[in-house]
Amino acid sequence: MAQKIENPGTYIGTIIESGIATTKNSFPQWVARLKATKRYIDVPADITYFQGQGLLADGQPDFVDYTPYDEEILAYVVLYDKNEKQTLSNEQLSKATGWITPDFDGLSQLVGKDIQFRVEFRTYTSPEGKTTEGNQVTWIDPVGTNPARILKTLDADAIKALTAKYGGVKKPVAVAKPASSAATPPKPTPAPASAPAAPKAGRPKKGPPAVVSPPATIQIVASSISSTETNLDGAWEAVNNAKGDVADSDMEQAWVRAMAEVGGTRKQEELSPAEYAKVRDLTIGELHGLHSLADQILGRSPSRSVRMGCEAPLG
């Protein structure tokens, strides 16, 4: 009997069961059972292990054959939101499988197709207050998508076009700082990114959510789309003020995604003021539905391992 996928990470797998269901809020939801056939190995300890098994020849990050482990996982993917608009997960499912929304009958025809998917550890609380934890499918991609997530910025022409479309951002008036003879203290050196950090306990209810660090192979090359630097609490307050009618859980997920993209393997308390500004701007951009802008900023199609709106218990 197959076991549930044990390790978070990026996988390639085969759809062995596929169908349509609804969430507790009656949103259409794709439900599928995925059989892992390959796993992307990028953590140094795992690279050493699989190289010793003869499955990773040159010791570089790559996919390895995972069929001997006989592992699978259930995926719950919400296809439409409360406004009856397609979710990003809906778009990714179409890209990964060729399925055309809203052909719900066609979902049963996806059995046998291969997709690439991301598994992450998540905590789920039902409307009745029951909490469960475990690995969950958080994103899907077409097979062959680069699993390494690299941030990219817009070019000058694209930035001008966005400025013309959205009216730009008013820059704050510069204020002269009082003279001081005290030397500016050096910024603390971030902890070395040798391994992903373990999930931390959540902050108080009104604070930003704790962030689980992504793999250490992330490269950060993005610059902020706003010139106003801030701190952790300031960024979180700005996100709260801009969230409008977005659910708190969706706001927190957007924050976690942005924090992981900008902060890499560091704890969220270790970012610089400029990086907190990036987190703030990326989160607000997503909350406002500027998905195309966020995709260009992050250089994704979109291909970020984000929570896919699962409202069913973890499988």
Comparison of pLDDT for 305 and 181, the residue scoring more: 181
Q: Identify the pLDDT of residue 77.
A: 95
Q: How high is the mean pLDDT of the chain?
A: 77
How far is 271 from 236, CA to CA, in rounded Å? 13
pLDDT tens by residue, 281-290 = 888 888 776 5
Cis, peptide link before residue 302, omega less than 30° from 0 = yes
Comparison of pLDDT for 159 and 309, the residue scoring more: 159
Closest CA to 214 of 258, 254, 252: 258
What average pLDDT does the segment 203-230 reach?
Answer: 48
For the beta carbon of residue 121, count every other beta carbon within 10 angstroms: 15
Decide if pLDDT at 300 tops 90.
Answer: no
CB-based burial label for 263 (10 Å; 0-12, 13-18, 19+) = buried
Least confidently predicted of 122-131, 146-155, 179-188: 179-188
Kindly indicate the confidence band of residue 246, based on its pLDDT and cuts at 50, 70 and 90. confident
Decide if pLDDT at 218 tops 90.
Answer: no
Q: Identify the pLDDT of residue 190.
A: 53
pTM of the model: 0.51
